[in-house]
Structure formats: C-alpha cells, structure tokens
Amino acid sequence: MYGMLLESVQHFVQLEYGEEVWKEVLRISDCPYTVFNTHQIYPDYVIPSLALACAEIISDSYDSFMNFFGRCFIRYMCIFGYDVSIKATGRFFTDFLQNVDNLHSQFRFTYPKMKSPSMYLMEVNEHGCNLVYRSVRQGFKHYLMGQLQQVAKQYFDLELKTTVLETRLSNANNRSLYIISLHLEFDNSQYMLDSLKKKSHMQTTLLTPVPCEMLLSLFPFGILINSSMKVVGIGDKLAQVWGNREEILGDAVTSHFRIRRPKGVSFTWKNLYYLRSVLFSLEFLCGGSRSLVDSPFQDCGGNEGEIVKFNYSIKLRQLRRESMQGMKNILLKGQMKFIKDINVIIFLCSPILNDLDELPERGIFLNDLNLHGLSREMVLAGWQHNSKLELMFDKAEQRSIELEHSYKLLDTWKRRGDDLLYSMIPKSVADRLRGGRSSLSTCESFDSVTIMFCDLVGINSTTVEDAMDVVSSMNEVFSCFDELMDKFHVYKVETVGQIYMVASGAPERTNNHAQNVADLSLSMINQIKSLRMPSGAQVEIRIGIHSGPAVAGVVGIKVPRYCFFGDTVNTASRMQSTSLSGQVHISSVTKQLLPGGRYTVNSRGSVRVKGKGEMETFWLFSSSSENE
C-alpha cells in the first residue's frame, strides 16, 4: 500500500490522541517506520499492526480502530484535493458507489503500483443497496466500512449502516481474492425517484424499433455480445479492419478481444453486466495476434461454470506486454450497455489513437472515426491520450518489478558475500575494514584469551589408502566441529592440515573464555565418538588448551585471515602435541580460570614442554553434573 494511507493514520492519531500515544503505538506495533512517504510502497500488515497497538493502548476494539483508520483516510484525502474527484462522481451516494472503480483507474496515473479493490452493486432500492467488494488484501473489512461511512456522511450527508452478508475466499489462477458482500442501509429514495423519472420519460418518448445494424452504424467499432459470450455483431469499421466479418461472428469474444481495463477482471457475462458503469478498455487482437492471454478469474457473482470456454481451435500463445505495441492491436475504450429486448450487451466504443502515424499501422483511416465524437480532432491535434500513459505506466511497472527482483537478487548475493566474509574474518573486524580502516588498525592486544588446538588421530596414509578419502574424512570431522562454534561462543581461527584451532576472548572480549573452550572441547570429544567416516576408519582427537595474553588482528592483503600471535598460542600448541588420543590436555593457567566444581580435573603431573621446560598440566573431563 502507498504511504498516503499510513500518513492519514499518523495524522489523525496524533491529532486526536496526542504525540506520546503515537510514539507508544509505534513501539508496541514494532513498526520500523517513524515517517511515511506518500508515494512509497509499504507492507500491507502495517495498518493492522497499528490498529492492534491502538486497541491495546486506548482499550478499544481492533475493529473499531480499523473503522477509524478508514474514516481518517477519507478525511485526509481533502489535503491532496481528491475530494473534488469524489464530489464529481454523481449527485447521489449510489452514483459514487457505481463509479469507485473509475476513480481507482484515474488514480493509477498518480499511483501506478496501486492494487485497488473492485466494487459493484447487486441490488438497489430506496432503503439502500447490496455491495460486493473484491480485494487481494485480507483483513480490511472494517477499514472499508469506515471509508464508506465517512464518504456518506461527509459528502452526501447520509447516515450509513453496514451489515456483512457474506465473506469468502476465492482462489483462481494462483491468485487469492477476498470477496465481501455488504448490505448498505441509507436513505436512497432520491436516487430511486430520479431513476424512476428517467424511466418514465423514456417510456413516454419511445422511438420506433430500429435494427442493430443502424446502432452499429452509429458506433462503427461497437461489439454485440450475447449471454453465451459469443460475438453476435460488430461495427462496419471493425469488420473492415479484420477483413472478414463472418470469421468473428459466432466466435467466443475472448478469441478476438481481451480486457485491458479494469485490471484483474475476467471476461464473463456477469462482470460485463454488473460493471456497466465502469469504463472498459478492450484490446482487439487483429492481424497476426489473434490469440488470447487472459485466464479467467472468479467472476463477479462467484458462480463457477460461467467462466468463458476458450476457443482452442485458435492456437493460444502468450502476448508479452512489450510486444503488444509492435503487433499494432487496436485499443477500444468505451462503456458496456445492456439491451434488455434482445438480451445482449453492446460495447459502445471508439479506438484510442495518438496521432496520424498510428492510423495506417492499425488499418484505420481518418474517415473511419466517428463524426459525433472528438476522435478526429484528437488525432489531428496529436493529443496524448490516457491510453498512451497507461501503456507507459504498464511498461514502467514491469521495469519496476524487474528492478525489485534485481534488488532482491543483489541482497541475496550480498548476504552470501557477507556470510563468506564473516566465515573468514569476525564480523566486528570485517565491519571495521569495510569502514575504510587499514588491516593494521584491527590488531589488538588481549590480556587473557583461551586457545585450543585439536589434532585428528587415525587419518593418514596407513589408515586411509585413497587421498580423496582422507579429504572427505577430514571434511566430515571439521564440518561437525564448525556447527559447534556459535553454540559455545568461540571463534574458529583456522585449520592447517589435520590441526583445528579455535579461540575465545577475542575479538569479542568475555570473562568466560576458558569455560567456553572447555565446554567446546568436551563436546567435540563426545561428537567424534558417534561420527562415522566415509572411509570406515576410526578417528580420534587429542586436544590441548592454554590461556594467557595474545595479540590478534588481520594480516596480509590477499586471502586475509584473523590470526593470533604470542607465547599463549605456542604453549597451547605444545599442550596439544603432548596430549593423548581422546583426552583434553590443559595448562595450570587454564585450570585456574575454570569455575570450581563444574569440571573433573585430574593432575597429569609434571610434563616436559619444548621451549617451556617442566610444566604441571591436567586432564579435563566432563562436568560433574553431566556425570551424575
């Protein structure tokens, strides 16, 4: 939906309830927007979420606030001058209801991505009417009621009562359509009186019967359609453009015409009958484009089986939007009129042309155009019709959809790139590098970190014959370890050969770095026992852990890595090399950092460590709580 709808909500909530209430509404609804742009598209869920938040804060019902929001929109339209369009629809409220779809068509020039609903009247009497509302949006029933009540009150001085008769969901052509039948109760006596006067006047001035040929001579591009949706008559000029009148007569209307406006309406008898007050735009598929792309949606009445049966004798093929102009089809714009005496609908129309150059391209000449209309004058003047703008909007909309798709792909690949980068460099460090800082600036000194080295035992040329089996076995083990990293809040530094190195306490400082690495090492011991190698070899690991100060940062330009430097790294490596298979070997420094009573720690005694001399080390086992 466009931002104007949300602007109306914000304006009147602030006006009637205050700025503090609006801020609280944004907070409770978890709305990511604080300011709305009139022509920006926003998700449909925003208005319902704001209504829920208002209902919670002000202790009123959700439905009443959706109704209030609908009223707010009608009141807010006056700021943009759209009240003039509403007033111009007719003298009576019923006239407005019959022309809502025409208003939406007009607004599409300003809001080309508008997904407007459709409305039509079923029964009209002096006490009101029954209205059928169709929309792709769900949950806006009370919003619609609020809009109708505000229009009736503000522009026609009527008190409107609304009753929901039926609500249903229609699924057709992978498109969900929410259909609501409403009974609108209001004083409609003046409209009925005016309609009665018109009928009585027509009865007193009845003309002698005239053949349809005479009517079609007045509208040389007109089309007669019967209740079976067959073409039973066409104007002379339309027949001349086609070349053979007999080829069209008796054919399904969908074989030669398709609906351009109103959008989303299928070519059915009920649609044509109930939408007679709506401006139609049909495309005459002439020349080499005698095919149809329309797929029938649910018709207005909702009765299945009335969808037009396609004439498959003509091979159907897709007409791409950008190719229509090249095929030189004729656009016809006009109104549907029902002729009760012969039970047909006639499409009273004229072709839409922009200038003289388009006449020969469509097989039309200047003398083919109506004398009683402005068609000739408009063609000669070279006026730019709405049809040209509609086509431009259609193309712009298609390009916009493609652009949105490209942006989504861009975001997808950006996320993939981020994931790859964050797998090589910690997120906090990578973000600093993105900000333009040098790699040297990422180097930091840490007072206390814990380093762990893990060595695979049992994977070598003597236990695994094929080199690919060695690689696949190592990949199986390391992939299992990778899944544990986030769980224990440690950072995987690197893998070199059969050595797996991790660290905790850098780059994100934490006081629990020794505990995190200890928990990880014990989990790795348990995981490796249940792991089955593709080669069938039995794999074990030996682990060494040490804690102390270290320096860490990104070094190098090509294939940058986040590396650790210092004596702590060397000592941790010595703990691993002097460890035993299936054991976790830790230094006395790490032992002192572990919480007491959480682990079982046994002294190994004094061990000679290369470069360090004699060191007292320990074996780490599962926590006492797990042993219980």
Is residue 554 predicted with pLDDT exceeding 90?
no
Same domain, 277 and 359: yes
Q: Where are the beta strands (DSSP E) in 390-468?
A: 444-457
The per-residue pLDDT of the chain, averaged, comes to: 79
Same domain, 341 and 484: no
Domain assignment of residue 203, yes or no:
no
Among 137, 159, 193, residue at a domain's last position: 193
Is residue 212 predicted with pLDDT exceeding 80?
no
Among 161, 193, 225, residue at a domain's last position: 193
Nearest residue to 184 via CA among 166, 153, 163, 154: 163
Q: Which DSSP helix (H) or strand (E) runs through 97?
A: helix 93-98
Position 161 scores a pLDDT of: 93
Domain assignment of residue 146, yes or no:
yes
Q: Helix 141-156 to helix 62-77 angle, to the nearest 10 degrees?
A: 40
Position 171 scores a pLDDT of: 73
Among 383, 409, 436, residue at a domain's last position: 383
Same domain, 364 and 491: no
Same domain, 98 and 217: no
Domain of 365, in residue numbers: 212-383
Which of the four pLDDT bands, split at 50, 70 and 90, describes residue 359? low
Same domain, 97 and 142: yes
Domain assignment of residue 463, yes or no:
yes
Nearest residue to 12 via CA among 119, 150, 194, 107: 150
Domain assignment of residue 8, yes or no:
yes
Same domain, 602 and 561: yes
CATH number for the domain that contains residue 102:
3.90.1520.10
Nearest residue to 553 via CA among 565, 543, 544: 565
* Dihedrals phi, psi of 171, to nearest 5 degrees: -120, 120
Alpha helices in 531-577 (DSSP H): 567-577
* Dihedrals phi, psi of 196, to nearest 5 degrees: -65, -40
Same domain, 440 and 319: no
Each as own residue / partner, the long-range contacts of residues 86-93 (CB below 8 Å, 24 or more positions apart, any chain) are: 86/151, 86/155, 87/155, 91/194, 92/156, 92/188, 92/190, 92/191, 92/194, 93/151, 93/152, 93/155, 93/156, 93/158, 93/160, 93/186, 93/188, 93/191
Which of the four pLDDT bands, split at 50, 70 and 90, describes residue 319? very low
Domain assignment of residue 36, yes or no:
yes
Domain assignment of residue 98, yes or no:
yes
Domain assignment of residue 348, yes or no:
yes
Same domain, 374 and 407: no
CB neighbours of 155 closer than 8 A, spacing ≥ 6? 83, 86, 87, 93, 96
pLDDT digits (tens, 9 = 90+) for 165-193: 988 887 765 677 788 899 999 998 998 88
> Which residues share a beta bridge with 603?
618
Domain assignment of residue 199, yes or no:
no
Q: Could you give the CA distance from residue 516 to residue 513 in angstroms, rounded to a whole number?
A: 5
Q: CA angle at residue 375 from 383 to 217, to 5 degrees?
A: 165
Same domain, 234 and 107: no
Position 624 scores a pLDDT of: 52
Q: What is the mean pLDDT of residues 284-297?
A: 48
Q: Could you give the CA distance from residue 450 to residue 506 in angstroms, rounded to a whole number?
A: 9
Nearest residue to 349 via CA among 341, 357, 361, 337: 337
pLDDT digits (tens, 9 = 90+) for 265-274: 778 888 888 8
Q: Determine the 3-state secondary structure of 359 from DSSP.
A: helix
Same domain, 454 and 559: yes
Same domain, 281 and 399: no
Q: What is the mean pLDDT of residues 196-222?
A: 76
Same domain, 296 and 183: no
Q: What is the mean pLDDT of residues 555-576?
A: 84
Is residue 99 predicted with pLDDT exceeding 70?
yes
CATH number for the domain that contains residue 534:
3.30.70.1230
* Dihedrals phi, psi of 347, to nearest 5 degrees: -95, 105
Q: What is the number of structural domains in the chain?
A: 4
